[in-house]
Chain A
């Protein structure tokens, strides 16, 4: 290929890219998960709802799981009295101490035990008290749970296993009560990794995770337990795994995040609009493995600019993966380099947490840089 033809190809793609900008809103509505619509399809147009915070919604999902399947059990450290974050409140009273129970303090034990139960055909719903403490179970998750089906050719699987773990910053957690270790697990074929951003999504995603035929790690941003509220349908519903959601549509910059960071990105979008008339499209990945590449690719082709933001350290974080995955299909559509605003490559700090976090201000600054690149 000579230089002239290369230039011509680029020019042709460029013009297609420009065209996409104008017709974007139509395209955009076809990708991403329409959460309200999905729930309505399952529960009708006006399901009965109650205002719940995140831990209540999790509790509700767990109780639905226990009600709908006799072969489901909930266990972990301090689960019997309701859990340190109250997610398992009253479940033992309602479902008995054989289905909802405390375990000894051993994460590798909890996950190993859960795998065995799942191999037996149970829905094993394990709680790891903090995501920071999931590492003793790393071997069981990565070498065992993730590979059970593959290594036995489907003779045995532990698809019934769901591991819940509270993650993320809370303002005073320091090194060991703040981490977001999703990238370690999102690097493991065979696992699914999910992180919800609010109660209505948490219930639907958790029920889908519990019923999914693969082991799922379900990270719950603990700062949202008491601060995030939704009108949550009381009936049983699920939100499909592997789908991202376009939280708000926009045309200039795509903002990608998950969990609590989505709320930061929504504020960024709001301020960008108000102060600079920049239109941001916010996407919540929801499932981090396997993630919804199509939705983000469509969005980035439309906007030409993308910011990925997460609390976990930037180097080798999930943002790096998404950036690399976006680059190939979006290369000629990009008007600025892909940017990442994430945690720094330090242990999670205590006194300087505010400076460590990918704050609204840092993200907004990045949006400005993307626009003026």
Chain B
């Protein structure tokens, strides 16, 4: 039988000490809100949530007080206190590289790209962001030209996908929402793979059954996308639990948006992961909009990271447009998850530069000036380009020729995908079950018999 890592027990005592000095949460015995975080900048902070185990250990043996099972260790007070639901300060946002591509002068070596990464890796990350941007631009146009039926771009969120993907291993299993094509791109999914799926041809694994952008890859450990929102989050908890039982040294990573975090599945998933100690990284891409609904109409509290404490899950907030902040936070998150065997919530603040999808026109609900401000000034691509230019590793000319080369590659992949045959009709009935049931067999026979004697709409009509 699989063994269960016990390491978390000892770590927890350190957590309690750590608490006293840095954490922003309600701590028993001190009975006050310790909040020193707002004053710190460029300091990597992790919001330590508490553990039921810590409370039990600290209080059950030594104290003579009786505690209710729902909150063991909650100190008694004769002053009626109402804990504020809204705080004035906000959880700070970890950022290393500012909008001009300059690295903070106070950032630690541990989080400094020049100290931690090879130049080749840095360039490669930027190139992947560019590739993602080119692919999105081209496939968006392809939809507008009627060549594919639907598309969703990652404009403005290139750093969330590439930064997080680069910090993980391919063996870390990804449950995505739908705007994480950059993760696949980093892992080696080719333009051809993307185009085959978007064209729904016979060469794509799901045999053209799903709408465009519902990618999946077994070998790249990317679980096939489904349209319902947030359903992947509790599944990621379950998958992570299985990984832990199997003594895996990898984690499960679950991407979702701040809108999806309003679904019940989000709550269930975090609560399950916390209580059952699942090694899963919850990665929220808070891009400010759920289709047209702005974040301020989505939740009242301090974003998504602010919820970690309530679930007993450690959480971080990071500038999602800063590739380095994303990269280092995900690296650290993974390490902590593996050390503690417990989940972690990472909120990446970013901005959806494009429309929700090709079926959406975001100019109807947001100002052009707003889009321009985020898309130009806070562009993750622009930041990274400047970063590389400062180091003489990239320039405008290289940028243009690289983009041109990628455009050509993508176009040829798209043309090939368009020409590829559609999956055979049998695949309408296959894969519903592991084997064709008598009912499906009968229905298939009837359809084939019908088609043998009747004309039916052909593909071209």
Contact = CB atoms under 8 A, between A and B. Distances in A.
Interface stretch (B60-68, B83-91, B209-217): B209-217
Contact of B243 (A109, A120, A155): A120
A112 B205 contact: no
Interface in A201-242: 213-214, 242
A43 to B, nearest CB: 25
A120 B239 contact: yes
A112 B224 contact: no
Given A109-B269, A116-B242, A147-B226, A155 B216 contact: yes
B226 A144 contact: yes
A153 B271 contact: no
Given A108-B264, A109-B269, A116 B238 contact: yes
B235 interface: yes
A122 interface: yes
B434 A159 contact: yes
B438 A116 contact: no
Contacts of A362: none
B235 A113 contact: yes
Nearest to A98: B4
Given A73-B245, A143-B231, A294-B438, A116 B240 contact: yes
A106 B268 contact: yes
A101 B223 CA distance: 26
Given A99-B1, A151-B224, A156-B224, A214 B433 contact: yes
B268 A116 contact: no
Contacts of B259: none
A71 B276 CA distance: 17
A149 B435 CA distance: 11
Interface string A92-118: 000110110101101011011111111
Interface residues of A, number: 53
A180 interface: no
A294 B442 CA distance: 12
B431 interface: yes
26 contacts: A71-B245, A98-B2, A104-B275, A109-B234, A109-B269, A111-B234, A112-B231, A112-B233, A112-B237, A113-B235, A113-B269, A116-B240, A119-B223, A122-B242, A143-B231, A144-B226, A144-B228, A149-B431, A149-B432, A150-B431, A151-B214, A156-B223, A190-B432, A190-B433, A213-B433, A290-B439
| Among all A-B residue pairs, the 3 with the closest Cβ atoms | A116-B238, A112-B234, A109-B268
Interface of B: 1-2, 4, 175, 204-207, 209-210, 214, 216-218, 223-224, 226, 228, 231, 233-243, 245-246, 252, 264-265, 267-269, 271-272, 275-276, 431-434, 437-440
Interface of A: 70-71, 73, 95-96, 98-99, 101, 103-104, 106, 108-109, 111-122, 124, 136, 139-140, 143-144, 147-157, 159, 189-190, 192, 213-214, 242, 290-291, 293-294
Given A112-B268, A113-B272, A153-B431, 14 more contacts: A98-B2, A104-B272, A106-B264, A115-B238, A116-B252, A117-B239, A140-B265, A144-B231, A144-B235, A153-B206, A153-B207, A154-B205, A242-B437, A290-B440
